[in-house]
């Protein structure tokens, strides 16, 4: 068949600005509470009409992401979430699962940035346009939740307070202009291993705000009140994280440095793009073995 016009969607890096573990359910999943945002950095999903369903993975992390990897947090390794997303949408909308999908993998695998979930969400959005289907936001979130707890917030794509296992969203007021440097020391970290190392620690929910922080400095002050409960166990499992946090915090203009999600990627918060870009450039010169990106937060 003649190849159709391509549809593209960005799969943005999910950044857990704060994350608390508030309990553990009978089914083994942990209850979470926190503030999630997205950065203007990530993967790219491109889809075309086709006679069959296929997936090609390119980019610097294509080798790390075989079709048996790239699962959402806590999901068993069966097949890539992109293919699972395509099949789930096809089933839900009563149509054949036929598309050629290209995933340009720029985010580190198992890096704490929700890459697999973001890829699934981008695939759902792209295929809705390609196939001309519109399940509606609520139904699409249900489809996403079948794929993984992080997929609904990735479908949302903007800052939100999250709770439950990460699937319950309370939209946050828009974040002020702020920039991040994302840094990964080149190590993967199993989400399940980090939760196991948590050793039963339970916290209260993160504080909500009545009005959004007026600027990046105020956002940093707010974040300083709540941390990431997974940071300490992750640092025990991967001491390399200590060096990343220290290096980020030492850069001029860094307002706060913290690990994202279950790691090992960390972020430094900056008020200005120039400061973030300068910090990323200097860190890249000092640590060429690290993955680094400077990006604006999407609020």
Q: What is the pLDDT along the chain (299 residues), one digit of tens a residue?
A: 455 799 999 999 999 999 999 999 888 889 999 999 999 999 999 999 999 999 999 999 998 875 444 444 444 344 789 999 999 999 999 999 999 999 999 999 989 999 999 999 999 999 999 999 999 999 999 999 999 999 999 999 999 999 999 899 987 778 999 999 999 999 989 989 999 999 777 899 998 988 889 999 999 999 999 999 999 999 999 999 999 999 999 999 999 999 999 999 999 999 999 999 999 999 999 999 999 999 999 97
| Catalytic residue chosen out of the listed positions 119, 150, 226, 229 | 150
Write out the H or E segment, with its range, that includes residue 5. none
Q: What is the largest CA-CA distance in the chain?
A: 57
Dihedral (Cα; 178, 184, 190, 194), 10-degree rounding: -60
Is 110 among the annotated ligand-binding positions?
yes
Helix (H) / strand (E) containing 163:
strand 160-164
Is 196 known to be catalytic? no
User: Could you say which DSSP state residue 14 is in?
Assistant: E
Give the model's pLDDT for residue 77. 40
- Is 117 annotated in a binding site? The answer is yes
User: Is position 150 annotated as part of the catalytic site?
Assistant: yes
The answer to whether 111 is annotated as binding is yes
Whole-structure pTM value: 0.92
Residue written as token pair 């620690």: 201
Q: Is 68 annotated as a binding residue?
A: no
Q: How far is CA 74 from the centre of its chain?
A: 14
Do the annotations mark residue 148 as ligand-binding? Answer: no
CA distance 124 to 97: 12
CA distance 173 to 235: 31
Cβ–Cβ < 8 Å for 35, 224: no
All residues at 6 or more sequence positions from 60 whose CB lies less than 8 Å from its CB, including other chains: 105, 106
Rounded-to-integer distance, Cα 89 and Cα 102, Å? 17
**Which residue in the list 14, 33, 43, 105 is annotated as catalytic?**
14
108 in a known ligand binding site? yes
Residue 112 annotated as binding? yes
* The pair of three-digit structure tokens given for residue 50, joined into one six-digit string: 């086709």
The pLDDT, as a whole number, for residue 66 is 59
């Amino acid at each position: 068949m003649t190849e159709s016009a391509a549809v593209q969607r960005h799969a943005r890096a999910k950044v857990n600005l704060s994350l608390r573990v508030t309990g553990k359910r009978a089914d083994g999943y942990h209850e979470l509470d926190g503030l999630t945002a997205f950065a203007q950095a990530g993967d790219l999903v491109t889809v075309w009409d086709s006679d069959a369903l296929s997936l090609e993975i390119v980019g610097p992390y294509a080798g790390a992401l075989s079709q048996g990897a790239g699962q959402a947090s806590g999901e068993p390794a069966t097949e890539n979430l992109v293919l699972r997303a395509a099949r789930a949408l096809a089933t839900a909308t009563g149509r054949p699962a036929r598309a050629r999908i290209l995933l340009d993998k720029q985010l580190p695998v198992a890096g704490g940035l929700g890459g697999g979930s973001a890829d699934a969400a981008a695939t759902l959005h792209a295929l809705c346009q390609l196939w001309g289907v519109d399940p509606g936001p609520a139904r699409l979130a249900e489809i996403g939740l079948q794929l993984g707890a992080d997929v609904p917030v990735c479908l949302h794509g903007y800052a939100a307070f999250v709770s439950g296992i990460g699937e319950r969203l309370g939209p946050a007021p828009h974040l002020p202009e702020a920039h991040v440097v994302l840094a990964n020391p080149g190590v993967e970290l199993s989400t399940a291993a980090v939760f196991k190392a948590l050793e039963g620690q339970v916290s209260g929910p993160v504080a909500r705000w009545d009005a959004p922080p007026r600027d990046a400095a105020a956002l940093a002050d707010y974040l300083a009140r709540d941390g990431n409960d997974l940071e300490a166990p992750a640092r025990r499992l991967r001491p390399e994280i200590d060096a990343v946090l220290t290096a980020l915090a030492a850069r001029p203009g860094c307002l706060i440095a913290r690990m994202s999600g279950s790691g090992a990627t960390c972020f430094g918060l900056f008020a200005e793009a120039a400061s973030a870009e300068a910090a990323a450039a200097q860190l890249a010169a000092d640590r060429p073995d690290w993955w680094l990106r400077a990006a604006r937060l999407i609020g």
